[in-house]
Structure 1
Amino acid sequence: MKKYLLILFLCGINLPVFAQNKTFNIVSFGAVADAKTINTKAIQKAIDACSAAGGGMVYVPQGTFLTGTFHLKSNINLFLESGSVLKGSPDLADYDHFTQPIYGITYFGILYTNQAENVSITGAGTIDGNNPAFHDFTRAKKIDTVSTHFSRQKNNYRKVDSGIGDGPVVPNKDRPHQMVIFSDCKNVQVRNVSLLNSPFWTMHFADCDDVLVSGIRLWSGLLVPNADGIDVTSCSNVIITGCDIRTGDDALAIVGYNHHFEIPGFSGKRHLSENIIVSNCNLQSYSSGIRIGFLDQNTVRNVQVSNVNITNSTRGIGIFLRDEGSLENLTFSNINIETKFRTGDWWGNGEPIHISAIRGKENVKLGKIKNVKFNHINCTGENGMLIYGTPESVIEDVVFNDVNFELTDSKLNDVAGGNVDLRGVLGEKNQIFKRDIPGLLIENAKNISINNFKLSWKNPRMPFYTHGIEAENFENLRIDHFTGGASPINKTAARIFLGKGTGFVTDDAKGVVRQK
């Protein structure tokens, strides 16, 4: 071990100071790498001893160690050697749990760390949530008919003729929740490890400050429901960089919760998420590659996403205002997006970019989406993009600059096409509803600037594909250097179709049709 640390030092790899002097091997505390023994107590003993010594490294050697829930503490680096696996026990009794008034018993995942500072998980080893133990991979979870009642296909929406299609698979009634949680922590690092097969959210940062996630491989399983990649809730000063994330549910989710579940030890803070950087990542998701905002929402602000590939996803970038608080100062640059339709109960419907502000809760003052920029974006998708506000929450100050979009035909158009998916809103008719699809839909928005937007259509065959750009209930819309037009098979559609609105400016009025 000392030789290994010396090699890291000579190679210029920085370890936390507290990890260079004190090492606590979990095997020395009784852990057994036989993939049978439950090692929760042995791992926790190593952590407790490390903490009592003032901090250091808890070392996991090669081998597979089954475990339930354990807890890191301040000034500790959990180091996973190459070839090491911390694997979740298949028995729920091995996980810590607590009771919530509404949800009943809730199980923690493998690692829950609360109110710690200077804490990290590093190395080339693996944390494996063992999701096959908690799901039936022979059955698909079906979408509810209430949500699909107003869709174009009604009960046939996303229908699968045989097998499980695109999933998601059916979870057991009870399963461990977030596989790795850091709650109310400061100076947190997760570097280079693999996080695999989570039965629920994979890694959750709640109310943390100063977080770095770098170089990880996070594959939760593309067929597993609720298996988000990284969830950032009410955190400040977060950097996520150089990661490969492939998930069933959202690959990255950034929200500012205005309340939390009653988790033991949680401090009860309620604050926004701010100052978040995401860069140089590859993302795949059967829901959204990146999701910002949703229900139980406080403000999210100052988010920068750059040099990211979002491929094989059901929705690319999703920005959702459903509650109080605002989503503001969001910038997306140098991003490639590829989206498609799916069968089964996944959220999202093939949109590369989705921005919507519509009520999801009663008795709250709905917030705002404002100051959102998209620069140098290349998209291929099977559904149109949308900026969809409502009269009580008009979307403000959105810029599209140098955006290329190829809208392609889909083999699933018959069971999924021609709809808008706004789920998470009040009212059955607002969930998933039938609508003609332009390349870009703008509704209830003001101060929208579109510059150098190129739209092309690849083999369109469905009559519901219509205009190039459609705008309804807008104020101050500017479109310059728009290349492309309406769906080539729809002879009545316009290059730019304008409904009610004021303040329209363009450098090329050819093909602009105003509603009479």
Structure 2
Amino acid sequence: MLSLLSALILTGSDSVDIRKFGAVGDGVTVCTRAIQRAIDEAGKGVVLVPAGRYLTGSLHLRSHVELRLAEGAVLLGSPRRHDYEKGVWYSLLIAKDLEDVAITGKGTIDGQGAEVAKDVLHMVETGEIKIPPKGWRPSETERPQIIEMSGCRNVRVKNVTLKNATCWVQTYHNCSGLTIEGVTVDSKSYWNNDGIDVVDCRNVRIANCDVDTGDDGICLKSDDPKSACENVTIENCRVRSSASAIKFGTASHGGFRHIRVRNIRIHDTFRSCLALESVDGGALEDVVVSNIKAVHTGNAFFIRLGHRTLSAPPGRVRHVVLRDFDVQIPAGRPDMGYPFKGPQFSEAHNLCPSSIVGLKQAPIEDVRLERIHVRFAGGGTPEIAKTTIAKVPERVKEYPEFTMFGELPSWALYARHVRGLKIADFSATLEKKDYRPPFALDDVRGLTATKVKIQGALGLPIPSNLRPTE
């Protein structure tokens, strides 16, 4: 009681300083108990992490408590995996079934991911952790995240820097009223370093974030067939990713509804600027993505309805609008410089077009492409560019990626099993020769196209129902 009173006197009536509970900011002293005590005794108020480096294992957040990191403050995750506890997975900060919980301030939370990964690998060597069957690295469930919140209401994560996770950086399961704003993510320390994962959450705003990460940048997922990601806004963010910058999926059991993504700047991204995927029976609908500017990225957009979860009927993808895209696709790997690069393609192919691919029994419905401009490096290999529409495999159950079909018979846009495709003001530029037509359409009905402009192509035939117009 005396320690709590002294902390209140020092920092103000609604905040407590972790140093008053014994935390030492020397980067060496383990401060887990001291910080946890400050959180537990704060009541309704602020727990202040002042400037310094505070070494800690897992901490459990509390309702009505804001963990505030001052400028110059660093919460330093322990390099020992045994110092971490499980929520859904292992994590440094854990919140479960809370309300009015916040992590704020100009400080940093450093998960020391490379060091933790070494300890996890040592646990593999001693037999304490098993590599999953057919796997080659420790499971994500054995590697700590930085933040994990589940079942929480009214969550704020604002202005902090999150770096060096051993797995996903931050995950929010089944939360409502979630705001992630002004957050910087810098995590390329091990595999599966997703920047922001939002799973079956409602009423979400992600804004003004800068994400540089060794897997998907900002990712919406759905694990629960009875739930979904709903009413989500992602805006004014900058993303660099060794996978996809903005992704819905791969887990897509319940689905994604009423989503708005706008004003996103993307660079040096290995896979797609935008990947919209429903492969587990969920519904992806009422999605509008606008004002996307990307340089040095592997693919502009990939929309996929698959059926890998055979225990559920196929889902649906419909009512999707993409507008105001300006994307540059280079010839080489766009993720050069990442310590953990994206996987090599399993099949030889030229540059992949953007693609919209549904199922024969469940076509994608009502997609609009408006003011889309994509610049391709080109430089195709004629020996590879012999694929015809009839030879493209369906691959209904396979993991969805823009490269999943191998070589495609077009360089700008490929669409299959689509009902209601509206294209208005679409331009594609080819810097060097390709040996394929710009468009390939297979089982596409209800197509309308205006102001389609192709530059730099070889004069190969353009499908008669998608002829460029001025």
| Short-chain TM bin | 0.7 to 0.9
Which residue of the partner structure matches residue 93 of structure 1? 82
TM-score (norm 2): 0.81
The percentage of counterpart residues that share the same residue type is 27
- In 2, distance between residues paired with 1:85 and 1:232? 25
Task: Answer with 429-438 or 210-219: which moved more.
Answer: 429-438
Do the aligned partners of 2:428 and 2:455 also contact (CA within 8 Å) in 1? Answer: yes
Mapped pair 1:224 → 2:181: no
Which residue of the partner structure matches residue 113 of structure 2? 131
Which residue of the partner structure matches residue 162 of structure 1? none
Which one-letter code corresponds to 2:75 in the other structure? L
Which residue of the partner structure matches residue 50 of structure 2? 61
Which one-letter code corresponds to 1:333 in the other structure? S
Question: 1:399 aligned to 351, 362, 368, which one?
Answer: 368
- Specify whether residues 355 and 422 from structure 1 end up closer, same or farther in structure 2 by C-alpha distance, changes over 3 A only: farther
Mapped pair 1:191 → 2:171: no
Which residue of the partner structure matches residue 48 of structure 1? 40
Mapped pair 1:278 → 2:234: yes
Mapped pair 1:244 → 2:210: yes
Do the aligned partners of 2:281 and 2:307 also contact (CA within 8 Å) in 1? Answer: no
Which one-letter code corresponds to 1:445 in the other structure? V
Q: Which runs of 5+ in 1 are unaligned?
A: 1-18, 99-105, 140-146, 148-168, 260-269, 341-349, 499-503, 511-516
Do the aligned partners of 2:78 and 2:116 also contact (CA within 8 Å) in 1? Answer: no
Which residue of the partner structure matches residue 201 of structure 1? 168
Do the aligned partners of 2:80 and 2:116 also contact (CA within 8 Å) in 1? Answer: no
Which one-letter code corresponds to 2:162 in the other structure? L
- In 1, distance between residues paired with 2:396 and 2:361? 17
Is the partner of 1:109 in helix, strand or coil?
Answer: strand
Mapped pair 1:28 → 2:20: yes
Do the aligned partners of 2:210 and 2:237 also contact (CA within 8 Å) in 1? Answer: yes
- In 2, distance between residues paired with 1:121 and 1:131? 20
Is the partner of 1:335 in helix, strand or coil?
Answer: strand
Which residue of the partner structure matches residue 447 of structure 2? 477
Do the aligned partners of 2:288 and 2:322 also contact (CA within 8 Å) in 1? Answer: yes
- Specify whether residues 20 and 313 from structure 1 end up closer, same or farther in structure 2 by C-alpha distance, changes over 3 A only: farther
Alpha-carbon displacement from aligned partner over 1:227-282 (angstroms, at most 9, x marks no partner): 001111111110111110111111111122216xxxxxxxxxx4111100111110
- In 2, distance between residues paired with 1:197 and 1:417? 41
Is the partner of 2:143 in helix, strand or coil?
Answer: coil
How far did residue 417 of structure 1 move? Answer: 10
Is the partner of 1:27 in helix, strand or coil?
Answer: helix
- In 1, distance between residues paired with 2:52 and 2:396? 43
Which residue of the partner structure matches residue 338 of structure 1? 295
- In 2, distance between residues paired with 1:442 and 1:94? 49
How far did residue 21 of structure 1 move? Answer: 3.5
Do the aligned partners of 1:293 and 1:300 also contact (CA within 8 Å) in 2? Answer: no
Mapped pair 1:297 → 2:240: no
- In 2, distance between residues paired with 1:194 and 1:204? 15
Mapped pair 1:115 → 2:97: yes
Q: Which runs of 5+ in 2 are unaligned?
A: 1-10, 122-133, 331-351
Which residue of the partner structure matches residue 304 of structure 2? 356
TM-score (norm 1): 0.74
Which residue of the partner structure matches residue 425 of structure 2? 452
Which residue of the partner structure matches residue 265 of structure 2? 309
- Specify whether residues 410 and 33 from structure 1 end up closer, same or farther in structure 2 by C-alpha distance, changes over 3 A only: farther
- Specify whether residues 126 and 43 from structure 1 end up closer, same or farther in structure 2 by C-alpha distance, changes over 3 A only: same
Which one-letter code corresponds to 1:471 in the other structure? L
- In 2, distance between residues paired with 1:483 and 1:236? 39
Which one-letter code corresponds to 2:301 in the other structure? I
Do the aligned partners of 2:117 and 2:143 also contact (CA within 8 Å) in 1? Answer: no
Which residue of the partner structure matches residue 425 of structure 1? 397
- Specify whether residues 178 and 392 from structure 1 end up closer, same or farther in structure 2 by C-alpha distance, changes over 3 A only: farther
- In 2, distance between residues paired with 1:239 and 1:218? 16
Which one-letter code corresponds to 1:484 in the other structure? I
Do the aligned partners of 1:175 and 1:199 also contact (CA within 8 Å) in 2? Answer: no
Question: 1:441 aligned to 414, 436, 454, which one?
Answer: 414
Is the partner of 1:48 in helix, strand or coil?
Answer: helix
Alpha-carbon displacement from aligned partner over 1:468-496 (angstroms, at most 9, x marks no partner): 222110110111110116732xx5x323x
Which residue of the partner structure matches residue 144 of structure 2? 177
